[in-house]
Structure 1
Amino acid sequence: MLEARGISKRFPGVLALDRVSLALRPGEVHALVGENGAGKSTLIKVFTGVHRPDEGELRYRGEPASFATPLDAQRSGISTIYQEVNLVPMMSVARNLMLGREPRNRFGVIDAARMNAEAERVLAGYGVETDVRRPLRTLGIGAQQMVALARAVSIDAKVVIMDEPTSSLEPREVATLFGVIRRLREQDIAVIYVSHRLEELYQVCDRVTVLRDGRLAHTGDIHELERIQLISLMLGRDVGEVRSGGLTRFSRDRGRAVTAEPVVEARGLKRRHVLQDVSVSVRPGEVVGLGGLLGAGRSETAKAIIGALPLDSGQVIVAGSPLRRRTTAGAIKAGISLLPEDRKAEGIIPTLSVRENIALAALPALARAGVVSDARIDQVVDTFMKRLRIKASSPHQKVSELSGGNQQKVLLARWLAMQPKVLILDEPTRGIDVGAKAEVQALIDELAEAGLGVLLISSDLEELVEGSDRILVLRDGAVVGELSGDEVTEERIMASIAEHSSTNPEEADAHG
């Protein structure tokens, strides 16, 4: 039905897809999985006309295909449902469903009565019973997602691509979605299903393709793979491998008993569809790791602690005192710093110099009577450039001209200049070269030895195991295991994820 043969796609400095092949059969539900940066989104965008492949061939219904635009792909019968609902919130539910295909009378005017009746009939099959004349924005996110699904299927699609379709759905809506997928299968409509929720993949998918670092890691029948095998393919680890020594640069004694009071403690963090009663504590000199697959809630936990994610309930306590201002500024002032996962979008300011990027957060602390001393800034910048061995021609060089590893060190310097009590590191070594990776890992050790509390998030299992004293394993926004001492192994992390992915559908839905 739809096939990618040896597809490669390059962006400046990045090979996003490296000779990837995927064949989709009529009436098949095909899972597409992989961690962040694996190439899933790029492949979907190649299929739907957003990107043109640099190498390889795209085939559709047995013929070579080339889609110039997403509209071109849609007109050919390839429809996509994105995680974020991309409809028109101010228009009515019926108009959104029928947009571009509205029934008209003999004068060319939209026949509202027919349109509304047709919309009600179609949406009833998706469990959406509402006044279709209401603006779409008045519906809940889950209902909006079902409208988007109904629209995608009703445009005579031959292939439907679903990108994290259940991320906003209630258990009842998930059951309806699975019923729709079964109907599509019966109609010989092919589905590409992207999700990080393993129990869903095993319920609705026939085959699975695993991407890792832009390459094809595996394609085959999903039911021939145990959950733990699928997880190991996604993470690039051999389940049965016995390692005599790690490849990381962590050297500190792991698992030491830390008896001091927690420097930061999060209790019962809850946000609908995102976090389910997450609690975590970090003591001075302790490195606590957060493990789990993509979408498990690791980054969301970090953002909740720093005040960047609004919560329905929960409490953050720093050095024994509850945070009264649930804002990022309040958390930073209390002594919490976060190195974000996406350093380009949420971290560095590329048009500013190394000096300006490092000093940015500390400017209020370096000011006297509202006047900032250049000499004090220079002293702080010089100290951290030497301590972190930041390679730049001068402090005035633009940070955008540095390598990824040195940009990461600049961000670390910014937050260390704030003299935090706890440092949250979200994927601190992702996308940087091996040498810089080793330096950052060694620095994490140094900071912990100096008494700083560290919360470490990493998709690199070896890094997580060798760098952490304790590890909390998350899945679907909930803590499903805590490992310490001899339990801190890659096998135990993967076993915890797999074990809690094998719950029955009702239990799984409760976490959805």
Structure 2
Amino acid sequence: MGENTAAGKNDYILECQGLSKSFGGTKALQNVELHIRRGEVHALVGENGAGKSTLMKTIIGLYKADSGTMSFEGKPYNVSGPAEAIRKGITMIHQELNPEPHLTVAENIFLHNEDVKGFFLNKKETNRKAREILKEFNFDISSTRLVDDLTLAQAQMIEIIKAVSVNAKMVIMDEPTSSLDNEETEQLFKTIRSLKERGVSVVYISHRMEEIFDICDTVSVFRDGQFIDCKSISEVTPQSLISMMVGREIQNVFSKTDCEIGETVLKVEGLTGKGFQDISFEVHQGEILGFTGLAGAGRSETMRAIFGLDSFVSGKIYMEGKEISNKNPRQAINHGIAMVNEDRRQYGLCLYRSVNENISLPNLWVKQKGLFLNKKREVVENRQIAEMLTVKAASLDEEAIALSGGNQQKVVIAKWLMSNPKVLILDEPTRGVDVGAKSEIHALMCEFAKKGLAVIMISSELPEVMAMSDRLIVYHEGRITGEFRKDEIRSGDVTQEVVLSKEFGDK
């Protein structure tokens, strides 16, 4: 089992032995084991559907194991739900954030742990405590601000602060940096190191290899619902981990295929709006144009304005040389623009609708037969595009919520491809998906470019966006601060450090 066999058993704060869990005929966990030491950062890795989240939800009491045993601090451990798990010292930050949007930052931090004065919430004391915690985390935000007004990255930081403020003995973090920029990620790592010093154990679930090797001490690998191995980080390499995760070698995670670049499709001149100023760029047929920058730099805001989700105050947008005005997404779609949002679960999918319905949703008018939906045509066309994108689902009738993150993303991409776009905007297209699905999505992007689509890719993951872009545009505080060609990046003249300096505003 790797390095855990060599250590004294008394070091373990959590032990899981022989855990199994099935949903219908699907075996989500098969005789799984997990051993977490006190004060260590323990990575859990594996493709989507490998069983990581199911195991964690079993530990916090959202699921009950069919068989197996757990112990925490040397005592038998069974809980009826997350509230009881928190009381015993285990808390979890979920990848799908669940803050209360209409409560303030302070109220969210102390939710279910309120300071009351008689029958009423002691708001003055709650805000005072919240300010102290926010200051401790160097998070410059008002404690009285509504969470609904925060960015996704800010909401994620509030969830992290909330989780570690209850004096937990073990904190489970599921993709905690998926919405954080480099600076916020480093602040999170400082928090994790502080937790280690206090003897708190951290279970760290992530698909980002550089983070695992930066912050984690130990790694457990899962595949197809089974425990594969546990190793010290010093014993493994990124490539060996990937091989264990997928059961095969992926030679190049960033599989960029160069395509012939054609005429200009989309051109933006002097676009200014909320969060961005004087933005000008163009993207061509067969080109993958990358955008990067710190969270809140204005990348997504620019694309939302182009897609008609938000308004802009000045500037012009051209499609194939003709000026257009997208006052709403329907107009953008009619002009040949499609956009995959960064938050697929909130904005990209109807989670409790079928795969078939999700793919059809933006394109129902195309599939009409008179006043009615042409169901036969709908099923045939949706099956064809699902097969083309290798969407793994039991059937097109399966609900989207039952799919892995990578397959959910493919469904979102499928529904927009059905609109036959000329420009495809992909905002964080591989966020929260495993290395296998990530490689597949990169290959699909290249296929789209090969067929003449102009692809715009927004990514906070520098190795990814630098490898996949024909050109890379860098944002800082709403403005473009740099633009690099793929030959400059491949030659080594433009490094990650150079791009980062532009993200921080260097001229």
Partner of 2:7: none
Q: Of the candidates 128, 137, 141, which is equivalent to residue 147 of structure 2? A: 137
Partner residue of 1:188 out of 189, 199, 202 = 199
Deviates further, 323-332 or 138-147: 138-147
Q: Which residue of 2 aligns with 1:17?
A: 29
- State the match for 1:155 in structure 2: 166
The structure 2 residue matched to 1:32, chosen from 44, 48, 52, is: 44
Cα distance, 1:68 vs structure 2: 1.2
Match of 1:330 in 2: 331
> Mean Cα displacement is larger for which, 11-20 or 201-210?
11-20
Q: Calculate percent identity across the aligned residue pairs.
A: 32
Instruction: Note closer, same or farther for the CA distance 1:334–1:123 as it changes in structure 2 (3 Å cut).
Output: closer
- Counterparts of 1:341-360 in structure 2, within 5 Å, are none
Q: Secondary structure at the match of 1:160?
A: strand
TM-score (norm 1): 0.60
Retained in 1: the 8 A contact 2:265–2:282?
no
Letter in 2 for 1:373: G
The question of 1:45 aligning with 2:57 is answered yes
Q: Equivalences for 1:204-353 in 2 at 5 Å?
A: 204-238=215-249, 258=260, 260-261=262-263, 283=285, 307=307, 319-321=320-322, 324-325=325-326, 327-335=328-336
- Alignment CA distance shift 1:268-1:208 (3 Å): farther
Which residue matches 1:400?
A: 397
The answer to whether the 8 A contact 1:265-1:279 is kept is yes
Which protein shows a greater Rg?
Answer: 1
Aligned positions of 1:8-157 closer than 5 A: 8-12=20-24, 14-83=26-95, 86-103=98-115, 114-128=125-139, 132=143, 134-137=144-147, 140-141=150-151, 145-157=156-168
User: Partner of 2:466 in structure 1?
Assistant: 480
Does residue 178 of structure 1 match 2:189?
A: yes
* Counterpart residue identity of residue 481, structure 1: A
SS in 2 for 1:53: coil
User: How many residues get paired?
Assistant: 438
**Root mean square deviation of aligned Cα:** 6.2
Deviates more, 1:46-55 or 1:377-386: 377-386
Letter in 2 for 1:137: V
Structure 2 Cα separation of the partners of residues 155 and 255 of structure 1: 48
Q: 2:70 is matched by which residue type in structure 1? A: L
**Structure 2 residues not aligned, in runs of 5+:** 1-12, 291-299, 388-394, 404-408, 471-488
The answer to whether the 8 Å contact 1:27/1:191 transfers is: yes
Q: Which amino acid counterpart does residue 400 of structure 1 have in structure 2?
A: D
C-alpha displacement at 1:9, in angstroms?
2.7
1:424-503 superposed matches below 5 A? 459-460=439-440, 476-477=460-461, 479-482=465-468
State the 1:53 CA deviation: 2.0
Give, in whole Å, the separation in 1 of the partners of 2:141 and 2:310.
Answer: 29
Structure 2 residue matching 1:400: 3-state secondary structure:
coil
Letter in 1 for 2:34: L
Letter in 2 for 1:332: I
Matched position secondary structure for 1:188: coil
| Residue 418 (structure 1) shift | 5.9
Distance 1:271 1:222 in 2: 45
In 2, the alpha carbon distance for the partners of 1:167 and 1:388 equals 28
The answer to whether the Cα contact below 8 Å between 2:311 and 2:327 also exists between their aligned partners in 1 is no
**Mapped partners of 1:413, 1:109: distance in 2:** 50
**C-alpha distance in structure 2 between counterparts of 1:101 and 1:357, whole Å:** 39
Q: Give a deviation string over 1:161-209, Cα, whole Å, max 9, x none.
A: 1223334445554443323222211221101122344333333211122
Deviation at 1:240, TM superposition (A): 6.7
Q: 1:308 to 1:192 in 2, by over 3 A?
A: farther
Deviations 1:278-302 (A, max 9, x none): 999674xx79899xxxxxxxxx99x
Residue of structure 2 aligned with 1:373, choices 370, 374, 381: 370
- Flag the 1:501–1:310 CA change in 2: closer, same or farther, 3 A: farther
Looking at structure 1, the residues matched to 122 and 258 of structure 2 have their Cα atoms a distance apart, in angstroms, of: 72
Aligned to 2:175: 164
In structure 1, the gaps of 5 or more residues are: 242-253, 291-299, 391-397, 431-456, 485-494
Is this contact kept in 1: 2:31–2:226, CA < 8 A? yes
**Distance in 2 between the 1:389 and 1:164 partners?**
27
How many Å separate the matches in 1 of 2:84 and 2:191? 25
Q: Distance in 2 between matches of 1:116 and 1:35?
A: 41
